[in-house]
Each structure stands twice: as C-alpha cells, then as structure tokens.
C-alpha cells in the first residue's frame, strides 16, 4: 500500500509560538528596566543594573531602584498581567470581543465596594480593600450577566456590553456620591480612580501577589475548556466539558484578578479590552490561531508591557508632575472600542 508523504512524515512543531512568547518576555524585561531607570530623575541603565546586582553606584541610586521604582515596576508587572488575563478570559468565556473588566462593570463593582467599605465600615487595611474588591467584582459580574440574559433574544454580546455600561454608570454615580460626602473615602479614591502605580510600596506587592497568582493559575487551567466552549455549548458538553464548573472557575479567576488589581492600582479601563485583540493578531501572525492555551499567556505578557510603557510616558512627558497610566491607556482604548463597535455593526448589517 502506497502512503502519501503527509501520512508518513512526522508532524512538525513550529517554533514560532515559543519564539513569540520569548520575544515578548525580552520586551517586558527591557520595559521593566526602563521603568526603573526613567522618571523625574533618570538613572543610567548601568547604575540600575549595578543596584539590581548588589553593587549600587550610591545610596541614593539604591534607594530609587529598590524602594521607589522597583516596587512600582513590580506592581505594574503583576497587576498588568492580572488585568490582561482577566480581559482575555472574559472575552473567551462570554464569546464577546467587547468584553472587558472595565466595560462590563467588574472594575466599577470593585471600586464601589472598596469606597463603601471605607465610608461605611471604616476599613483602612489593604487586605480589607482586597476582600471588598473581590466581593464587588463578583456581585457586579453576576448582575451584568443576569441583565444581559433578559429578553426573548437571550444573552448576546451587544446586550452584555449595554448591561455593562448601565451597571458601570450606576455604580460610578453611587461611588461619586459617597466620596463627595466622606473625606476619608475621597482621599483614598482620588489616588487610584484614574489608574495609577504611584501610590503603593513593596509591602503591597507581597500582599496582593498570592491572590493574583491563584487567579492566574485558575485562568490558565481553564484554557483547554475555553477552546471547547468556543465551538458552542452543545459541542463543549458533548466533549465532556462540565460547563458549570468551567464558568465557576473562570468567574472566580476574574474576581481574583480584577478585584485584586483594582484594589491596588484602581480601575484601568480598556487595558483588558485592547490587549487580547493584540494577542490574537500576533497569534494569527505566528500561525497559532484562536488557541486560548497561547492567547492567555500572550495577554499576560502584553498587558504589563502596555501598562508600564504608559506609566513611563506619563512620568517623562510632564516632568516633574505625572500623568496617570490609566489616563494614557484610555486615550488608546477609547478609539479602539469605538472602532470595534463600528466593525461589529457593519458585520451585522
């Protein structure tokens, strides 16, 4: 029997996905070094490297690297990865390319819960903010999902986005009303309402890291099931996927990632929307396709690159004052969201 060459030749594994992840990893390292080096007072890269290797040029440089910009960079690294993972997970779970923790009310729910805990319960600890951020993110996620299911047509991406906008507007209005009547809540809220890395220290990184790590593990473990879900719920169920467990695990991951990140740096709107789309473009160029086993790690690497780059630009362009990273990302994400909505409307016409 004669066999075709394609049947006898072993399957070749393309190195492009690994090269893509490696390239993004190198880019992230470079951006982290620039984040430590650049600011109101720039530090040469050789002095940054010396301080990181235990051979500081001076006590002043050592203080800048290890006490000021190092923790800030680490915070941007872990929270950016959390928001990017959360956005990619939400888009895969809802099969909605417009899904984003900031647009679907998750970030606003976390913000509202944190502000309410400060004003009504007098919570002052970071752990308190984290737990209330988790609760608010979960409650807002459930509310948006339930509103999106109302009506005869059931759940669809446009209704889900509209429900998210409505819940976000409502929670933002109530949050504003609280902070205008409570000085303590206002003092806390004004620092992270625009999304900033400038107000925390190294202790916060250690406090938030375990929660974000658990959320990241749950998100990455959901990737194979999300690939099945992309084929449709009936197909996923026929492949043996337990849809209830998949949704529960994904919602817990979103709650941990978004609630934890918002509790520390505030709501960074559009970061979770833009990054998964960039990841899909890069994945298509690398021949990966819509495989969540690659898209989720790509989003986790791309998001801190974008967040830290925005933070660097905000520190440099307006010296000695700073522009919050969330403001700069909104300049990118706003037009991107409008373009996505217009593209979907044209596709449906």
pLDDT at residue 9 is higher than 50: no
User: Which of 95, 84, 89, 93 is closest to 344 using CA atoms?
Assistant: 95
**Dihedral sign of CA atoms 281, 286, 290, 292 in order:** negative
131/125 Cα distance (integer angstroms): 10
The DSSP code for 152 is T
**Tokens 């009506």 -> residue:** 151
pLDDT at 14: 53
pLDDT at 344: 57
10 Å CB burial of residue 95 (0-12, 13-18, 19+) is middle
326/343 Cα distance (integer angstroms): 25
For residue 8, name the pLDDT band (cuts at 50, 70, 90).
very low
CA dist 18 → 22, 23, 294 (Å): 6, 8, 9
Does residue 119 fall inside a structural domain?
A: yes
10 Å CB burial of residue 157 (0-12, 13-18, 19+) is middle
Q: List the domain range (segments joined by +) for residue 275.
A: 70-344
Verify cis geometry, omega within 30 degrees of 0, for the bond prior to 251.
no
pLDDT at residue 11 is higher than 60: no
Does residue 136 fall inside a structural domain?
A: yes
pLDDT at 240: 80
What is the domain-level CATH number for residue 309? 1.10.3470.10
116/243 Cα distance (integer angstroms): 34
Does residue 35 fall inside a structural domain?
A: no
Comparing 243 with 282, the larger pLDDT belongs to 282
* Mean predicted confidence (pLDDT) in 163-184: 86
82/1 Cα distance (integer angstroms): 54
Domains held by the chain: number: 1
Give the pLDDT confidence of 293-340 residue by residue, as tens digits: 999 999 999 999 999 999 999 988 877 788 888 888 888 777 777 776
Does residue 114 fall inside a structural domain?
A: yes
pLDDT at residue 6 is higher than 50: no
233/315 Cα distance (integer angstroms): 46
For residue 191, name the pLDDT band (cuts at 50, 70, 90).
low
pLDDT at 330: 83
Does residue 181 fall inside a structural domain?
A: yes
Give the pLDDT confidence of 216-229 residue by residue, as tens digits: 999 999 999 998 88
Contact present, 101 and 133 (Cβ < 8 Å): no
For residue 341, name the pLDDT band (cuts at 50, 70, 90).
low
User: Which of 209, 34, 182, 46 is closest to 126 using CA atoms?
Assistant: 209
Does residue 65 fall inside a structural domain?
A: no
Give the pLDDT confidence of 85-109 residue by residue, as tens digits: 999 998 998 888 877 887 778 888 8
pLDDT at 335: 79
For residue 120, name the pLDDT band (cuts at 50, 70, 90).
confident
**Tokens 């299911």 -> residue:** 149
pLDDT at 241: 84
What is the average pLDDT value for the chain, to the nearest integer?
Answer: 83
Calculate helix-pair angle for 243-265, 106-121, nearest 10 degrees: 60
Does residue 154 fall inside a structural domain?
A: yes
Lowest mean pLDDT among 45-59, 149-163, 293-307: 149-163
User: Which of 133, 83, 110, 81 is closest to 272 using CA atoms?
Assistant: 83
Interacting residues of 186 by C-beta distance below 8 A, sequence separation 6+: 179, 180
* Mean predicted confidence (pLDDT) in 135-162: 78
Share of residues in the chain with pLDDT > 90 (%)? 26
Q: Is 284 helix (H, G, I), strand (E, B) or coil?
A: helix
For residue 349, name the pLDDT band (cuts at 50, 70, 90).
very low
Interacting residues of 308 by C-beta distance below 8 A, sequence separation 6+: 28, 31, 32, 35, 73, 76, 77, 80, 325
* Mean predicted confidence (pLDDT) in 125-133: 83
Comparing 186 with 91, the larger pLDDT belongs to 91
Does residue 328 fall inside a structural domain?
A: yes
For residue 13, name the pLDDT band (cuts at 50, 70, 90).
very low
pLDDT at residue 5 is higher than 80: no
Buried b (16+ CB within 10 A) or exposed e, 161-185: bebbeebbeebbeebeebbeebeeb
pLDDT at 153: 67
């Amino acid at each position: 029997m004669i066999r075709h060459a394609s049947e006898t030749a072993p399957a070749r594994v393309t190195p492009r996905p690994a090269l893509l992840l490696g390239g993004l990893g190198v880019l992230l390292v470079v951006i982290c070094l620039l984040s430590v080096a650049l600011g109101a007072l720039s530090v040469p890269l050789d002095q940054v490297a010396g301080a990181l290797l235990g051979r500081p040029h001076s006590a002043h440089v050592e203080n800048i690297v290890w006490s000021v910009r190092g923790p800030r960079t680490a915070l941007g690294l872990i929270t950016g990865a959390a928001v990017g993972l959360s956005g990619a997970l939400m888009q895969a779970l809802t099969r909605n390319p417009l899904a984003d923790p900031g647009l679907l009310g998750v970030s606003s729910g976390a913000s509202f819960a944190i502000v309410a805990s400060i004003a009504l319960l007098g919570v002052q600890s970071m752990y308190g903010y984290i737990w209330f951020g988790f609760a608010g993110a979960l409650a807002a996620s459930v509310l948006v999902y339930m509103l999106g299911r109302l009506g005869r047509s059931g759940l669809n991406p446009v209704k889900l986005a509209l429900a998210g906008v409505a819940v976000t507007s409502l929670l933002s209005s109530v949050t504003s009303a609280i902070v205008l009547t409570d000085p303590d809540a206002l003092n806390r809220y004004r620092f992270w309402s625009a999304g900033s890395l400038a107000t925390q220290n190294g202790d916060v990184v250690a406090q938030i890291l375990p929660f974000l790590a658990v959320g990241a593990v749950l998100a990455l473990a959901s990737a194979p099931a999300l690939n099945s879900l992309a084929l449709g719920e009936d197909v996923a169920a026929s492949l043996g996927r337990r849809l209830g467990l998949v949704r529960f695990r994904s919602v817990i991951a979103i709650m941990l990632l978004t609630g934890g990140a918002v509790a520390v740096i505030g709501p960074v709107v559009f970061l979770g929307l833009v990054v998964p789309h960039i990841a899909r473009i890069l994945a298509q160029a690398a021949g990966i396709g819509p495989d969540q086993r690659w898209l989720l790690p790509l989003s986790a690497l791309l998001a801190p690159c974008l967040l830290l780059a925005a933070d660097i630009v905000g520190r440099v362009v307006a010296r000695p004052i700073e522009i919050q990273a969330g403001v700069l990302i909104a300049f990118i994400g706003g037009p991107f969201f409008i373009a996505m909505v217009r593209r979907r409307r044209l596709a449906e016409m």
